Amino acid sequence: MNISLGTPPFPIVAIADTGSDLIWTQCKPCTNCYKQNAAVFSPNSSSTYKTVPCQSSACDSLQIEYEASYGDQSHTKGDIAVETLTLGSTVGPRRHVAFPKMVIGCGHDNAGTFSPKGSGIVGLGGGSVSLVTQLGPHIGGKFSYCLVPSSAAAEATSTLSFGQSAVVSGNGVATTPLIPDPSQPTFYVVQLEAVSVGSKKIPFHGSTVGETSSGNIIVDSGTTLTLVPTDFFTQLSSAVESQVTGSNKTTDPQGFNNLSLCYESGPKLKVPSITAHFKGADVALTMENVFIKVSDTVACLAFYGNDDVSIYGNVAQQNFRVGYDLQKHTLSFKPTDCTQKFF
């Protein structure tokens, strides 16, 4: 997502991640930074940048020097600061809205699987330092996104909305409860009851997320594949394999072990209808939600067997408006052509 930090505003392109909280960018001096295409943010060039003194409340969660790691073993280390953050606006006469004294991380040691196209992460989780929580009353606990499919043209961009414009409503909306858990405030947890492959309905018994949650899967914009327990994955992949027609099985040319069911892609490949049955919400998935193209000629099932944690990844969320209402504790899905702008 596009944001700006500092005064004057310095443009940043960062990963929008509902599975983490901290807003951070690579910062000068870069003692150990990954290569990024854009210029690196310099705190000395901003008149509103201030490091956080350790007696502040922000230290309770991250300390003045922070260290954060992610599920793919990527990490960031640096200083906690307060800074002005600017977002684009579609409401009112102003094209941009500035939010002063936002808690951010200024990363001097960052490494992992980060793309050179981006320069940090914007945490959209439920914790105290996430962008969603810090925007607070400005957005009424509401945000949504619409992720363009991987097959979309290069110039197509996904949309992220906050406040009243983020409400997902109208025909075709499926809504399921968000299940809060004080022991895991970052994660957006829901209950997945089953997945149907054609007429075969496979019950889902994911591990409970957190200490007090009855939910069993995390919805995460920052994870690509959908991670499910290995026994469920075995049943799911077998059901899919038995109903795919028009194409030959093959292997992932990139050799990733986590993509185990692959086919020659093309117009003849026909996959069964697949529906995710969340509590109170049936979400019908398209082929682009279920299979991911790993080359021009190969598509693989975008699910992965994993017994540590269950995650509903971003491939499954493509071409849906996914709306979070943190006041009503609901998550909504609406099938949408995300290449079209709707405001």
Of the two residues 136 and 253, the one the predictor is more confident about is: 136
- How does the average pLDDT of the chain come out, rounded? 90
Residue 98, pLDDT score: 93
Peptide bond into 8 cis (omega under 30): yes
State what percent of residues in the chain have pLDDT above 70. 93
Judging by beta carbons within 10 Å of its beta carbon (0-12, 13-18, 19+), is residue 195 exposed, middle or buried? buried
- Mean pLDDT across 286-291: 93
Question: Which pLDDT score is estimated for 128?
Answer: 92
Across the range 217-238, mean pLDDT stands at 94
User: What pLDDT is attached to residue 248?
Assistant: 87
Active site residues: 17, 220
Ranking 176-180, 210-214, 223-227 by mean pLDDT, the lowest is 210-214
- Tell me which residue has tokens 């109903």: 243
Report which of residues 256 and 21 the model is more confident about: 21
Rounded CA separation 226/216 (Å): 13
* More confident: 257 or 3: 3
Question: Does residue 322 contact residue 283 with C-beta atoms inside 8 Å?
Answer: no
Please report the pLDDT score of residue 256 as a whole number: 61
Mean pLDDT of 68-85: 90
User: Could you tell me which residue, 183 or 124, shows the higher pLDDT?
Assistant: 124
Q: Does position 90 have pLDDT exceeding 90, yes or no?
A: no
pLDDT > 80? residue 116? yes
pLDDT tens for each residue of 141-184: 999 999 999 888 778 889 999 998 899 999 999 999 999 888 88
Q: What is the pLDDT of residue 247?
A: 86
User: 156 vs 285, which has greater pLDDT?
Assistant: 285
What pLDDT sits at residue 120? Answer: 94
Closest CA to 219 of 127, 301, 131, 313: 313
User: Do residues 203 and 189 make contact, with C-beta atoms less than 8 angstroms apart?
Assistant: no
Confidence band, pLDDT 50/70/90 cuts, at residue 89: confident
Q: What is the mean pLDDT of residues 104-126?
A: 93
Residue 288 predicted with pLDDT over 70: yes
H or E stretch including 123? strand 120-123
Tell me the residue type at 259.
L
The predicted pLDDT at position 210 comes to 62
Cβ within 8 Å of residue 281, ≥6 positions away? 174, 175, 176, 332, 333
The whole-number average pLDDT for the span 91-104 is 86
How far is 12 from 1, CA to CA, in rounded Å?
8
* Section 252-260 average pLDDT: 72
CB atoms inside a 10 Å sphere around CB 306: 17
Residue among 128, 264, 254, 134 nearest 185 (CA) = 128
pLDDT bin (cut points 50, 70, 90) of residue 93 is low
Strand positions, DSSP E, 198-340: 200-203, 217-219, 226-228, 249-250, 262-264, 274-278, 281-285, 291-293, 298-301, 303-305, 311-312, 320-325, 330-335
pLDDT of residue 191: 95
- Least confident interval from 204-208, 279-283, 322-326: 204-208
